[in-house]
Structure 1
Amino acid sequence: MTSTKSLSLEQLRRRFDRLRALQQRLTRPVPKHFTACGRRYDLPLRSKTGPSFTTVPPHMLDYLAGFFDGDGSVIEENGILRLKVSQAESSSQVLLLFRNVLGGGIYAEGNTVGMRQVVLRWCLLGERACHAAELLRQSSSCKYDQLLLVRSQLQRRAELKSLKAVAPSKAVCPSWSYLAGFFDAEGHIKIVYPASIVLQIEQKFPQILHAIRDFFLDAGITCVIYNRRVHYALVINRTSESKRILSRLLMEGLRAKRLQARICLDLGSIKFHDIRVMLTKRVGYQSRYVRLTSAGAERAYEIKKLRSRLWKSQANSPSQLAQLKQLQEDHLLKCAEERNQLLRADIRSQLQQ
């Protein structure tokens, strides 16, 4: 058998594609239970018999509205409008909060394929959905018009579909509690070698990002919004400001990303690679085969430093340019080898399960 190290970059990429195709055919059965807040719950966890709360504390309502604006949706099934929030099992405590405050049930969303995490869904319909929509609408921004449909019981699929395809009629960030919910749903925490923290929020439409930027500016925090063609991204690059934001979001009830935020706040007192290992265990699998290994992060950092030196000197010799090219080619090859090794280990683990 050919050694992995002797394969070319193109061969490694083809091998990766074949292994990924195999992995995507591996399925796990529908889960029968989930764990949240240290307690096990059987699935499905059906709607509560008692009524939902008639009043909700403002900070809690802001958090729920922010999270719903980020990951919630209004869907139409059989002529009935429903509220829905889907999350990976690792964030099930947020779904439990929606159920405990607004009512509804929690259900599994089918089989789990490949490396995809178990996905759970909170769902609410009927009179309780109308009541919940009225509550969420008080603090909601992006989904305000969709929630208005639920309240008025205008069960029109075409109208709901059109609302999802256009920018929201209004966009505001009313409080840190709202932002905690929105960031829990749509935010990303990234650490960059050797000791930087980058926060990012991506959205299809920029209005809510502009509202969050204005909210940050009022708090003396600088951020940038980028147009990346398929979406817009609000980015905070300064580690000091990222830490300030994470600390405040933790105070305001951050839940799904609570552990990630706490881990990142220790960056500096704990080594970068140790922080990175702890974070990897608590994030989803979307970027699992794109994320650099510890060695890859160090290689990328060395390439960045060399490129910066060459750019500043503006007198690049052919040998320096050749060195940079060689480092980049070696980096690509080693990254391909590392992700193939990771993918093979994942497939073996899945087959054993």
Structure 2
Amino acid sequence: TSFAAFDNDFPLPLRAADLVDAPCAPSGKGLAYLVGFFDGDGCVSVCNGRSGCELSVKQSIQHPEVLLRYLRAFGGRIELASSAQGSQHASILWRIAGQGARDAAAVLCRLPSLKQEQLFIASRWPQGTDERESMARRLRQLKVADSSGLSVENWEYLAGFFDAEGCICIPPTYPGMRLDI
């Protein structure tokens, strides 16, 4: 199985080591875009045994470019998440765990975001068993808490969030278009 992006074909699974260019941490506008996209489609989850956290972003195999941006920025791997069924396209997943996840979370949590506290927890995952249980509980709480108090500070964040969650609607009875998030 493979996917196409940026006029190239890539095999699955794809690791950062398989790429010609080395991982390069994003900054400025590129980082703001990735933070916004992660707020829309990203996930911070606790690994089995609570040994650490995993970061992941899932996308349709039809639109994989952003997953390559995460892979190039932070490392990790891109793999098949689900096969195509009927009219539904296959989906692929970027994921990173261990020290790489801690490092990626530390970079992503530098900017204000809806998932900033989740990323902060992932970046500083504790060594002690009791502390891990407490942090796992806190992550579960954050996933169900209302996080609507963020004010958007730049267009790049908004562009990333819109690419993950947005929709351009052209109603048949309205002479224009509407952007929905």
TM-score of Structure 1 vs Structure 2, range by shorter chain: 0.7 to 0.9
Is the contact between residue 54 and residue 101 of structure 2 (CA under 8 Å) also seen in structure 1? yes
Q: Which residue of 2 aligns with 1:35?
A: 4
Report the CA distance shift for 1:199/1:88 in structure 2 as closer, same or farther (over 3 A).
Answer: same
Any idea what the Cα deviations from partners look like across 1:35-85, whole Å, max 9, x if unmatched? Answer: 0111100001024389743x5230000000000011101012212310000
Unaligned runs of 5+ in 2: 127-131
Q: Which runs of 4+ in 1 moved over 6 A?
A: none
Aligned residue identity for 2:38: F
Aligned residue identity for 2:169: K
1:166 aligned to 141, 145, 151, which one? Answer: 145
SS, match of residue 87 in structure 1: strand
Q: Which residue of 2 aligns with 1:190?
A: 169
Aligned-partner Cα distance in 2 for 1:72–1:41: 22
Q: Which residue of 2 aligns with 1:73?
A: 43
TM-score normalised per structure 2: 0.85
**Structure with more strand by fraction:** 2
Task: Please report how far the alpha carbon of residue 107 of structure 1 lies from its aligned counterpart in structure 2 after TM superposition.
Answer: 0.5
1:181 aligns with 2:160: yes
Aligned residue identity for 2:45: I
Aligned residue identity for 1:87: Q
1:57 aligns with 2:36: no
Is the contact between residue 16 and residue 22 of structure 2 (CA under 8 Å) also seen in structure 1? no
Is the contact between residue 15 and residue 75 of structure 2 (CA under 8 Å) also seen in structure 1? no
Report the CA distance shift for 1:57/1:148 in structure 2 as closer, same or farther (over 3 A).
Answer: closer
Report the CA distance shift for 1:97/1:76 in structure 2 as closer, same or farther (over 3 A).
Answer: same
Q: Which residue of 2 aligns with 1:231?
A: none
Unaligned runs of 5+ in 1: 1-31, 202-353
Is the contact between residue 66 and residue 180 of structure 1 (CA under 8 Å) also seen in structure 2? yes
Aligned-partner Cα distance in 2 for 1:172–1:148: 19
Q: Which residue of 2 aligns with 1:117?
A: 89
Any idea what the Cα deviations from partners look like across 1:236-263, whole Å, max 9, x if unmatched? Answer: xxxxxxxxxxxxxxxxxxxxxxxxxxxx
**Structure with more helix by fraction:** 1
Task: Please report how far the alpha carbon of residue 112 of structure 1 lies from its aligned counterpart in structure 2 after TM superposition.
Answer: 2.5
Aligned residue identity for 1:160: L
Q: Which residue of 1 aligns with 2:129?
A: none
SS, match of residue 113 in structure 1: coil
Q: Within 5 A, what are the aligned runs for 1:87-236?
A: 87-154=59-126, 155-156=132-133, 157-168=136-147, 171-193=150-172, 195-201=175-181
Report the CA distance shift for 1:158/1:119 in structure 2 as closer, same or farther (over 3 A).
Answer: same
TM-score normalised per structure 1: 0.45
Question: Which of 1 and 2 has greater Rg?
Answer: 1
Give the total of aligned pairs: 169
Q: Which residue of 2 aligns with 1:48?
A: 17
Any idea what the Cα deviations from partners look like across 1:125-149, whole Å, max 9, x if unmatched? Answer: 1111111111111124100111011
Aligned-partner Cα distance in 1 for 2:123–2:22: 17
Q: Within 5 A, what are the aligned runs for 1:299-310?
A: none
SS, match of residue 55 in structure 2: strand
Q: Cα RMSD over matched residues?
A: 2.0
Aligned-partner Cα distance in 2 for 1:48–1:69: 26
Is the contact between residue 22 and residue 72 of structure 2 (CA under 8 Å) also seen in structure 1? no
* Overall identity of the aligned pairs, in %: 34
Aligned-partner Cα distance in 1 for 2:147–2:177: 30
Aligned residue identity for 2:168: I
Aligned-partner Cα distance in 2 for 1:136–1:198: 30
Report the CA distance shift for 1:170/1:200 in structure 2 as closer, same or farther (over 3 A).
Answer: closer
Aligned-partner Cα distance in 2 for 1:48–1:140: 30
